[in-house]
Amino acid sequence: MLFDSHCHVNDDSFDKDRSELIESLPEKGVDLLMEIGFDLESSKKAAALADKYPFIYAAVGFHPNDTRNMTESDITELAELASLPKVKAIGEIGLDYHYPDTHKPSQKMWFRRQMELAMDLNMPFIIHDRDSHADCLEILKDFDIKRVGGVMHCFSGSVEMAKEAIKMGLFISLGGPVTFKNARHSVNVAREIPLDRILIETDSPYLAPDPLRGKRNSPEYVRYVAEKIAEIKSEPFEVVAEVTKQNAMKLFNIL
């Protein structure tokens, strides 16, 4: 059974079949989901979804591209949501320098503020890092990561960066891109880092794996990620499924 450690099934693309899809997941081999918030509204929805389904847990936070109009009152509301029993992490938070109109100072400020929240609440965190590797690691070095734990979601960096992140106490999460035919970094990372530091995810509805690339991604497709990692590492699929599931349960304090 698989743990999709990062998905967004509250996305509008699931409006027509959300309930049916979620209820079908255990029979498809996916028995745990982490539903991720990216702003206040989606964080509230994530917490509500986790409350409704026993095998769904939630993370609450502001994606870097959604921090431009963030206020301190949002931090207060995130803290309130984080007190709910099935909210297990602060995320996704971090930096995203992909777009030319990115306001880097604002992103950095709210990344630090949400990291402070995770530390204050003694909760693990989920990092979004896109085209911002150096700044992201620089900020993370200011925090006692090993005390609470965290994960680099949909990791896109080098093997060297992955190893540095692991030394800091982070897990590395791999998703659909590891299956792409032109994948290099992700495949090398999967090969070189130990299985006990890897999580798997879909980032649904984005980044569908081969052979479904270009279609709506779904938590059931996390199987393709596990299969690819098993192939790269020459490990049985069942071993990859079980170890990555246990890694996520350990990180998110799910007993």
Neighbouring residues of 80: CB distance < 8 A, sequence distance ≥ 6: none
Asked if residues 205 and 218 have their Cβ atoms less than 8 Å apart, the reply is yes
Domains located in the chain, CATH noted: 2-251 (3.20.20.140)
| Alpha carbons 63 and 20: distance in angstroms, whole number | 28
Structure tokens at 244: 């990555």
At 75, the pLDDT band (50, 70, 90 cuts) reads: very high
At 136, the pLDDT band (50, 70, 90 cuts) reads: very high
| Alpha carbons 202 and 59: distance in angstroms, whole number | 15
Average pLDDT over residues 57-72: 97
Helix (H) or strand (E) holding 248: helix 237-251
Average pLDDT over residues 92-115: 96
pLDDT digits (tens, 9 = 90+) for 170-222: 999 999 999 999 899 999 999 999 999 999 999 999 999 999 999 999 999 99
pLDDT digits (tens, 9 = 90+) for 144-154: 999 999 999 99
What's the pTM?
0.97
Whole-number pLDDT of residue 205: 98
Structure tokens at 178: 């590891």
pLDDT digits (tens, 9 = 90+) for 89-98: 999 999 999 9
Mean pLDDT over each residue of the chain, to the nearest integer: 97
Average pLDDT over residues 23-43: 98
**Start-to-end C-alpha separation, the chain:** 16
Helix (H) or strand (E) holding 50: helix 40-52
Hey, which bits of 64-206 come out as E strands? 87-96, 125-130, 150-152, 170-174, 198-200
Structure tokens at 143: 């925090």
From the list 157, 153, 158, 159, the residue with the least C-alpha distance to 174 is 153
